[in-house]
Amino acid sequence: MTFNPFIVPSAKSQLISFKVGTEPTFPPFEMPSEDGSGLQGFDIDLMKAIGNEVGLEMVFESLPFDGLIPALQSNTIDAAVSGITITAERGQSVGFSSPYFKAGLAIAVQENNTKIDNFEDLTGRKIAVQIGTTGAMEAEKIPNAQIVAFDSAVLALQELVNGKVEAVVNDAPVTLFAIKNAGLRGVKVVGELVTEEFYGIALPINSEKTMLLNYGLFQILRNGTYKQIYQKWFAGEPFILPLIAPSLIGTTSSDFTTNPLSGSGSQSVLTLLIQRLPQGAVVTITLTALSIFFGLMGGSFIAFGLISDHKILKNILRIYVEFFRGTPMLVQLFIIYFGLPAFFQGIGLQWSLQRLPAAVIALSLNVAAYLAEIIRGGIQSIDKGQWEACEALGMNRLQTLKEVIMPQAFRRILPPLGNEFITLIKDTSLVAVIGFAELFRQGQLIVATTFQAFQVYIAVALVYLVLTTLSSFGFKWLEQKMDPVGQKKEKGLLRNA
Ligand code: GLN
């Protein structure tokens, strides 16, 4: 059924379900409702009110912020509402309703910071932003700034509270709400608003529903519903809204390249991929190498403990292994990176971990638990008789382990170790959530500015595939090298084999 925007169904039975994507950690615009059963917030109330006017039943779907525009492009959702600023660049990939809210970017710093008063003071500083937002784009313009991108504004602000960055550039209403209403402590907003922005409902380009939503918006602006919703979430009188966002006035599509391999702006997707993916791959490889190194050391220690006769040690190590195998790595990472510093601050200690040690610790602790079991299995797979034979020869336990058991066990451990290594390469993508610009996050960052989700993620997958395939070959080669039968064959020493 197609809609004539001016013939609006009134009966409830005629409501048409309308899928709206939103990133639900952007209070007070969208956040989980108190009982956790759904969503609440200014945007949510606004959409429902518009829906009532025009006969649409809004069905909200949570998505990451940087996934909203790709989801609209692929028509996975009918619209997106998420405090999305109407910008000319985004206007090339999606359509927008008329503006429904006036906002702007603000700089947040720690309360005791006296060095940062305005945007110019941010030069060369460490700044946290939310990936794919106008705050992230504005921060890119700051000379020499070290920018860390998080999945949500809340995580970026948490980073500031934990003292790991000096500032956050983010939408003013959200930062102010977090300070005033959500109990964000030790943070203040400085200076003037960095930008003036208008939020709009985003729709697939040329969506027939744009007019309908605009009609609903005008209705609720006229009949006072908008004001009611505004005053439920914000104090004071709502701003007067323009019909069209100033950012869209005077831009034409010829201002932007339209080649599918071209990004918005001057750099093509291909150039960005060539520049950024290798950087990301280096980070991924470094993380994997460090974590497998520490994981192997820890795993070996745990495995030896597990096969020892020491009861208490054995039990402690068992609990360790069960904990790290039985809980998601993502949760472990959040505990180490966000949880521990918050806990220490709670008890009056200023302690926090930098990104690299936090990521390596989380990955190593996790991988050690898996490797421990692999190593233990390898050692125990060697026939008991060999221990006895060595004992008869007068060798002690350590000597037996070193000279006889481990060389054989290691060969058996190699194939599962290879599997673990490959899993680890892929698992490093999890540390993107703490703002690590590894391979996957580099891809996300490119999509955030170019909106070419398909090409970019395929390219990212291919780079992972190259890394895992090379590792597979590496382990195969190592297996052959370690195999005495194969070695002899190679040297021609085993004629009949
Ligand atoms: N208004 C900002 C933007 O559109 C941030 C929106 C958000 O994080 N939900 O980029």
**Tens digit of pLDDT per residue, the chain (497 long)?**
444 555 555 545 578 999 999 999 999 999 988 887 899 999 999 999 999 999 999 999 999 999 999 999 999 999 999 999 999 999 999 999 999 999 999 999 999 999 999 999 999 999 999 999 999 999 999 999 999 999 999 899 989 988 899 999 999 999 999 998 887 888 999 988 899 999 999 999 999 999 999 999 999 999 999 999 999 999 889 999 999 999 998 765 554 444 444 444 446 889 999 999 999 999 999 999 999 999 999 999 999 999 988 999 999 999 999 999 999 999 999 999 988 888 887 888 877 788 899 999 999 999 999 999 999 999 999 988 998 999 999 998 889 988 899 889 999 999 999 999 999 999 999 999 888 889 999 999 888 878 788 999 999 999 999 999 999 999 999 999 887 776 666 666 655 54
Distance 42 CA to ligand 1 centre (A): 14
Q: How far is the CA of 359 from the centre of ligand 1 (A)?
A: 27
CA gap 370, 159 in Å, rounded: 30
Question: In the CATH scheme, what architecture does the domain 269-496 have?
Answer: Orthogonal Bundle (1.10)
- For ligand 1, atom 7, the nearest C-alpha belongs to 83
Ligand 1 touching residue 85 (CB < 6 A): yes
**Is it true that 105-195 and 269-496 share their CATH fold?**
no
| pLDDT recorded at residue 262 | 43
Tokens matching residue 291: 């974590």
Q: Which phi and psi angles does 101 have, rounded to 5°?
A: -160, 140
Alpha-carbon distance 233 to 43, whole Å?
A: 10
Residue 418: count of CB within 10 angstroms of its CB:
17
In this predicted structure, what is the pLDDT of residue 384? Answer: 87
Give the domain ranges of the chain: 16-101+199-256, 105-195, 269-496
What is the Cα–Cα distance from 7 to 466, expressed in whole angstroms? 56
Distance CA 144, CA 121 (A): 12
pLDDT tens, position by position, 85-102: 999 999 999 999 999 999
Ligand 1 centroid to 455 CA: how many Å? 24
Model confidence, pTM: 0.79
Distance 448 CA to ligand 1 centre (A): 12
198 - beta bridge partners?
Answer: 102
- Measured from the CA of 133, which atom of ligand 1 is nearest? 10
Does the domain at residues 105-195 carry the CATH identifier 3.40.190.10? Answer: yes
Q: How far apart are CA 205 and CA 179, in angstroms?
A: 36
Q: What is the H or E stretch that residue 474 is in?
A: helix 453-482
Q: Note the pLDDT of residue 6.
A: 53
pLDDT tens track for 236-275: 899 999 999 999 987 655 544 444 444 444 468 899 999 9
Separation of 326 CA from ligand 1 center, angstroms? 36
370 lines ligand 1 (CB under 6 A): no
Q: Which residue from 133, 150, 152 has its CB within 8 A of the most atoms of ligand 1, so it is best to mutate?
A: 133
Ligand 1 binding pocket includes 43 (Cβ within 6 Å): no
Nearest to 295 by CA among 178, 160, 421, 451: 421
CATH value of 16-101+199-256 in 3.40.190.10, 3.40.50.2300, 3.40.50.300, 3.40.50.261 = 3.40.190.10
Residues recorded for the chain: 497
Question: Residue 367's closest CA among 427, 312, 411, 412?
Answer: 427
Quote the CA–CA distance of 215 and 273 in Å, as a whole number: 41
